[in-house]
Structure 1
Amino acid sequence: MDLQGKRAIVTGSTSGIGLGIAEALAGAGARLVLNSFTDRAEDHDLASDMAKRFGIEARYISADLSIGEEARNLVHQAGGCDILVNNAGIQHVAPIESFPPAAWDRIIAINLSSAFHTTAAALPGMRASGWGRVVNIASAHGLTASPYKSAYVAAKHGVVGLTKTTGLETAGQGITCNAICPGYVLTPLVEAQIPDQMQVHHMDRETVIREVLLERQPSKQFATTEQLGGTLLWLCSDYAAQVTGTTISVDGGWTAL
Structure 2
Amino acid sequence: MQGLEGKVAVVTGGAGGIGSALCRRFGAEGAAVAVFDIDHAAAEAVVAEIRAAGGAAGAFAVDLTDQDSVVAAVAAVEDNLGPVGILVNNAGWDRAGAFLDTDRALWERIVAVNLYGPLHMHHAVLKGMVERGEGRVVNIASDAARVGSSGEAVYAYCKGGLVAFSKTMARELAKQRITVNVVCPGPTDTALFRDFCGEGEYGDKLRNALVRSIPFGRLGRPEDLPGIVAFLSSDDAAFITGQVISVSGGLTMAG
Judging changes above 3 Å, is the alpha-carbon distance between structure 1 residues 83 and 147 closer, same or farther for their aligned structure 2 residues?
same
Give the TM-score taking structure 1 as reference length: 0.88
Which residue in 1 is equivalent to 2:49?
49
Segment of structure 1 superposing worse, 142-151 or 158-167: 142-151
Unaligned runs of 5+ in 2: none
Pick one of 153, 168, 173 that aligns with 1:170. Answer: 173
Which residue pairs with 1:102 in the alignment? 105
The percent of aligned pairs where both chains have the same amino acid is: 33
Deviation at 1:225, TM superposition (A): 2.2
Q: Which residue of 2 aligns with 1:224?
A: 221
Cα displacement (A) at 1:5? 1.3
1:127-154 Cα distance to aligned partner (Å, 9 max, x none): 2222211000000011111222111010
Three-state SS of the structure 1 residue aligned to 2:189 is coil
TM-score by length of 2: 0.88
Q: How does 1:1-257 map to 2 (within 5 A)?
A: 1-2=1-2, 3-40=4-41, 42-53=42-53, 55-79=54-78, 80-190=83-193, 196-197=199-200, 199-200=201-202, 209=207, 211-256=208-253
The separation in 1 between residues aligned to 2:252 and 2:194, in whole angstroms, is 23
Structure 1 segments unaligned to the other structure (5+ residues)? none
SS in structure 2 at match of 1:255: coil
- Cα shift readout 1:189-243 (whole Å, capped 9, x = no counterpart): 546788935x34787xxxx75x423354333222232221000111122221111
The one-letter amino acid paired with 1:236 is S
The Cα offsets for residues 75-106 of structure 1, whole Å up to 9 and x where unpaired, read as 22211410000011001122222212111111
RMSD of aligned C-alpha atoms?
2.3
The CA deviation at 1:253 is: 2.2
Q: Is the 8 A contact 1:74 1:118 kept in 2?
A: no
| 134-143 vs 239-248, greater mean Cα deviation | 239-248
Instruction: Tell me, yes or no, if the aligned pair for 1:163 and 1:245 is still in contact at 8 Å.
Output: yes
